Amino acid sequence: MRPPESFVAQPVRSLQTMLRVIAQEDKTQPSVVPDGIYGEQTQGAVSVFQRNHGLPPTGITDQATWEAIYAVYAPAMVSIGPAQPLELILEPGQVIGRGSRDPNVYVIQAVLQVLSDAYASISPPGMSGVLDEATSQSLSSFQELAGLPASGTLDKMTWKQMAIHYPLATKKMPKERTDL
């Protein structure tokens, strides 16, 4: 599907795109091809939407219909799309070192736990919220496997590699432990 910015100044195509997304969530809603033409297919899909949402089923997209379609489209987009990524915010040059008590350490420990389930050479870190010795050891093991300096601290490069490996590790069964 095209990026949303490609539909600026193309209201019919935008409408069709929204109806198509809604149809992925609601099987009673007919899907339409976003071709930019307000033809019978689009008119029929608008009528079904109107009927399903308590609006007069005219097949015409008036302001009330547009707003109702958008109100259903926005959460449907979230539902059918990928989960919002979580970014760990580190300042340039920031390193989370041993002994650091930081809310981000919980996230680091959770990711390391998953990585330790997938890769035998990484020990489980525990969930203390402190970059303690167990977490530092897990980080060092991961850093070695990823070809990074094994500092046992978290910098941007280590986080980047953890973020790359995490989705791969979640697809592995815990008993299928392996090395990178």
Q: How many domains does the chain have?
A: 2
Q: Model confidence at 175, in pLDDT bands (50, 70, 90)?
A: very low
Q: Which residue has the higher pLDDT, 15 or 169?
A: 15
Q: Considering only 78-82, 93-97, 99-103, which range has the smallest mean pLDDT?
A: 78-82
**Domain annotation covers residue 33:** yes
Residue 3's pLDDT is 59
Q: What residue spans of the chain are helical by DSSP H?
A: 11-25, 40-52, 63-80, 103-118, 133-145, 156-170
Give the integer Cα–Cα distance in Å for 80 and 84. 11
Please state the length of the chain.
Answer: 180
Domain that holds residue 19: 4-80
Of 32-41, 63-72, 80-89, 127-136, the one with minimum mean pLDDT is 80-89
Verify that 50 and 113 share a domain, yes or no.
no
- Tell me what pLDDT residue 63 has: 96
Per-residue pLDDT at 93:
87
Mean of pLDDT values over 121-127: 93
> 166 in a domain, yes or no?
yes
61 and 118, same domain (yes or no)? no
Interval 154-164 mean pLDDT: 93
